[in-house]
Amino acid sequence: MYLPLRYLLTQCPDGRKYVCFESDVRQCISSANNSKGFPIHGPATRTNLPHLSIDTVRCVRCLTWPLQAADWPTRQRNYGWPDLAALDCVVCNGCDVVGVAHRQCRQDELKGKHQWRLSFSRAEILLINSWMPVQQIVYHILRYFMKTEQLTDCADNSERGTLSNYHIKTLMLWACELKPRSWWTDDVNLVRICVELLHTLSVWLTDTRCPHYFISNCNLLDNSFNVGNVARKLISVDEEYMSTWFVNNYIGQCAQLCPPNVSRLFSDVTTNRNLPNLVSEIVRWRLNKSFLDKWSAVELLDFGMLVTISVHSLTVRSCVYWMNELAKIDKRFCFLFGSCAATCCV
């Protein structure tokens, strides 16, 4: 889509209101990412900090639910997910428009600089947060499996169609809506669930069909995708293969993050009898470490707030926005933000 420049906003001297003027210039707003010297990751600019990478996406907020997805809130759902409260919240939050051209248009001088794309990231975050723990775990395993098996590529700016994490997210969103709760919770078997979903993805790839979760007439696959080998690989995955991969690549990687007294147990996992002991030790270590991880995350957030407040001039409007957004994560972050703002103002 293209965004024509229609109006200009001018901030009033008191900093609380804006005056709207119709623009005399008739032009499309550029979507080009002009961040020089920073890696480009799809619509995002990536900033690498010590122990942290930050993706910044330039976007335009759309406060109304887009017409392209008008049938999403009202379509037939047989298993009650998302529920009515989640549907209302998603629609009320609207969506965003991000500056990135379709991969087949990026070499075109005009289209490559002016095309924008609908982004449903706000809706996706809300829906993922409503998942049951088993669904969140399956999503994480599927992404890690596709990455370690080198079946997905990160979003790039080339014309070639590649399978990405967004296809995995789309697969999971559809599964959560189309599968009954009992499919996830009765006789929980992560390996079985993952294998079935990988086979579903294989069928999608074979049929060149990956329906967008929000826009019914949008297909996330086309003939430019060369995914025949991926489809054959996925359909060949059975529970035995997945179980072996899970132990060697998932549990094994978790063990390597643990202290030596725990990680060395992985070398002794020669039978299923030894595996529960290793998993129990990993879980025990992770639970003991969780408090330190939370403390580190709060320290990082505190640092990020201080940097942001120091660099940007805050108004009453922006402070209220910050506090409202932080409250969605944890209401206690509002007090942390107030403390940082007071520190910077001294």
Looking at beta carbons, which pairs linking 277-280 to residues 24 or more positions away fall under 8 Å? Answer: 278/251, 279/251
- Of 256, 279, 306, the residue at which a domain comes to its end is 256
| Token code pair at residue 78 | 């047989």
Q: What is the pTM of this model?
A: 0.77
| 92 pLDDT higher than 90 | yes
Domain that holds residue 117: 32-130
User: Are 176 and 252 in a shared domain?
Assistant: yes
CA dist., res. 111 & res. 316, Å (int) = 38
HSE-up of residue 74 (Cα within 13 Å, Cβ side): 5
Per-residue pLDDT, 35:
62
Across the range 84-94, mean pLDDT stands at: 94
Domain boundary among 71, 95, 130: 130
The number of distinct structural domains making up the chain is: 2
Which pLDDT score, from 0 to 100, does residue 331 have?
76
Strand 95-98 with 59-62, pairing: antiparallel
Do the domain assignments include residue 186? yes
- List pLDDT tens digits, range 18-47: 777 777 766 777 766 666 666 666 677 777
Residue 264 lies in a domain: no
